[in-house]
Structure 1
Amino acid sequence: MAESHEFVSLSMQQTPPGHPFFVNLDTNYRCIACRDVLRDAVQTLCGHRLCEVCAFGIFEEPPPWRCPSNDDTCVPYLTKEEVFRDPCARREIATLLVYCSNKDRGCKETMQWKQLEGHDLRCDYKAVQCSFVTNGCDVCTTRQNLEDHLQQCQYRNILCAYCQEETIFNQTQDHESFRCRKYPIACPNDCGATNLRREDLKDHEQECPQRQSHCKFSNMGCGFSGSMEAVRKHEGESLDQHLQLTTVYTASTDLQSMAIHRELQDIYERQHGLQKSVNRSLREVEDLRKEAEGTKKTIKNIKLQSAEQAERMIYVERRLEDAARKDVLEKNERDIQGLQNLQTSISDGLRLLEQGGDRRLSAGNIDSQLQYQERKIGLLDVRFVELDLRLQIHESASFNGVLMWRIQNYRRRKCEAINGKTLSLYSQPFYTSQFGYKMCARVYLNGDGMGKGTHMSLFFVVMRGDFDALLPWPFEQKVTMMLLDQDTGTKNLSDCFRPDPASQSFKRPQTEMNTASGCPVFVSHKMLETKTYLMEDTVFIKIQVDTDDINPP
């Protein structure tokens, strides 16, 4: 939905992209504001040329607006209607001769600006990254030298000569020394085998005649080790020594067994004590579990009570809408007056009781009467607050199709929207008539959709009302949304639309309110946050619904 207050220029022919070096840039093709080449050229009524963006900048300042050239040929004051697209200049600028973007790398070609982008795609001097950048190569060369570099790149992929696995060229030595499973190596036991594949080494060591071995009595204290043949010879010649080691080891084992027995006894005693602690903890856990179940029941009851209170609040909100009727309003006023009189009477009675006016009442009866009267006073206070709230809603309700919405604390509320705390705000309901459509407004101070972060978004919402069954559907009344000027009152920003009959947003509501419909880019933050529209941290929004052709039910 277009904003009627914004200066919008729809370019017929865009300026080519980029910032090239021109062979010769005539002053006629320079912007009188930024002095750079004209981009999407526009022309003022006085004949001067500007970039489209520079023209936007002029009208973002407070009026009066003047031509940046400011010479004798300029019009006194410039208006938005006096700035036009300049298709001729745009075509001529697109054909200006420029140097190739790769001129510094050796390209000598020149071409029209509009041809530069296509030339860059095929230029042999264009900078390209080495294809092996993922392997660690950070070389950047030209397209014509890329093939020569790839053939010599230290990070190129090659196949291992032994295992045929792919590896990086400058890591070949490391691969062969540590990871290649088929690389030939010598036996570490110096048995004479020198051409073993690394993957076969483990099997060879099990059969190697020079494999180092230990005496079978090593766990008893024998420290002899050597080749398998030497170990067998040692075991045959050292029987007496091994028998003596066995005797000493057996005696040491008996002593260790006795120590272990004593440690086991201590462990059993500690285990018994821990068992008692565990049993005590289990009993405490069981008590806590029962207590937790009781707490869960209490929480469940509280949730049920909260749900009942919520239902009662919804019921009260619906009943409050009846406050707009004159007869209900008068009845409420009479009820309030009666409640005030009754409260005065009860207060006088309590004062007499406190002064001992009725001597026939016992102390116990007085306490009972006091408690009874206090309960009645509490119920009357609740009723009084409810009626007061209904009167306040009635005073702020509108029944002529016009909503005046005052949004205070704008900057704090916008920060809450940016932080995700409160994304949107709803206005109070308003009506086309006493028995007409019920509506409200919704605003996103930090924007919604394509306006998020840059604009304030404003939407119109159709709500479910008590008289929907008597009204024609879908809703087809013209809606005008305005941001009010608080400075001079002459620069209100407005946008209007007629509802789409096929949209679900304007059919008879089946829930409390329909989907909002409006303008995601209603006004930019830059324009909104000026003294014209934001004053004393407050903005005013007006929604006006056309009620001329509505037939009352």
Structure 2
Amino acid sequence: MNGSEAQKTIGGYPRELLKNKSDLTERITCGVCDLILRDVVQHECGHRFCSSCAEALQNEPQPHFCPRCPPDSLEAPIRNIYPDFAGRKEIRLLQVRCVNSGCPFDGILSDYLTHQDSCQHSRVPCPACDKHMKRVELEDHSLKDCTERTITCRWCNRELIHRNMKQHNSVCPKLEIPCEICKKSNLPRDEKIKLHQDPENGDCPRRKRFCKFRRVGCEFTAPQEQMSGHLKNNQQEHMNLLLDDNINMRTELEFMKKKLEKYESMELGEKGASALHCDNPEEIVKMVVKNLKQNGIVMEKTSVEETTKHLKAVDQAMAVKNVVITEQFLQIKSLENTSYNGILVWKITNISQKRRDAISGKQTSIYSPYFFTSCYGYRVCCRIYLNGDGMGEGTHISIFFVIMKGANDAILQWPFRNKIIFVLLDQNNQEHIIDGFRPDETSSSFRRPISDMNIAIGCPLFISMSKLEASPNAYIKDDTMFIKVCVECHE
């Protein structure tokens, strides 16, 4: 026999295979392993062996004798063996039944050899956890019981190994858990539970609340039922905080008024000019400080009800004052950042929140700071829709160009003819998105403005949401986007 005929399996077939035990004779059993012959070979003496058993005897260093021959037989030493094809055919036709419990197979041995590789009742190991079971049970085990099976978290859709599920549930950001304060259930662990318990905007009835004087320095937090006691017992401290805050506001207001003097000769528009010459902020501050000082002396003599009414009046006065200060501050920043060369680099921060506001309809568009094409040129700005507008709504970011009413419109050429280019900057400086257009001179958007600004016109399909999100380029980085606007300047 050559090496290619050698069998990896040592020994014969198990005796239990035989359907009729009366067929179990010396003729079909191996003289070495005493099992049903496998790949029958025959010795010179006429006795049969499994080919693997005969080869094992031949490979021994000491000579072996045929186990079924008398010791004095001349043919007894194992020397030459030959394939027994008649014997192999006889073995293949033996009537057998499957030895696996519960298997109904009944047939000849040659069919059994094919059957045993797919027998649904044979015991096989699970490829994941190595546990042994019937093949017919393997699929159900892999889907339901295997500790090494891959599953998907029902909350966050993350794939993980089943044995790690308990550990994952302890940190899963989407897992619904009850609020530990009010015991309300079905709240995802991440932002919703935080929002539910948020002292300022939450809806948990037992959450800690901020003191109403927080914005002037009081850091006290407590459930709602404890807040009235805090307000009653700390009236003087709250009034002192209000006094200090208003003194600081007055100092800031005086500083801003001095700074505004530097820009008195510059064009701010009708609305800006009226705000700059408003005397109300200082009068409001004087009135508030005067009232606080007066009430600070007699605070202990006033009732809780009177104090509450007074605090509401002070709060309203502060709100008006803060609006005016904020408006003037923004006007100063606008003047400092205004471009006069026809180029605007627009930095848009907090993109994710602004996109959510655009999708919900809370604020669908954002205006850029205005800029000029030259020192005495056109006054223009841009308008961006982060959830798209018109044909780009819901699928693209849309950006438009707006001509505003300016101080020098009377000496400029109309209609507006300068080319406009929009550039979405890749913050890795790899591949910028560029789009632009030349004005349609028949459009009212490019005529001299009659109102504060003309109708916006531009690129409703500037960049698709899918391209923006899937692109490897850094168009949005650290929740910030940069858009460069260039206007040809030849007036």
Alignment TM-score, normalising by the size of structure 1: 0.32
Please state which structure has a larger fraction of its residues in helix. Answer: 1
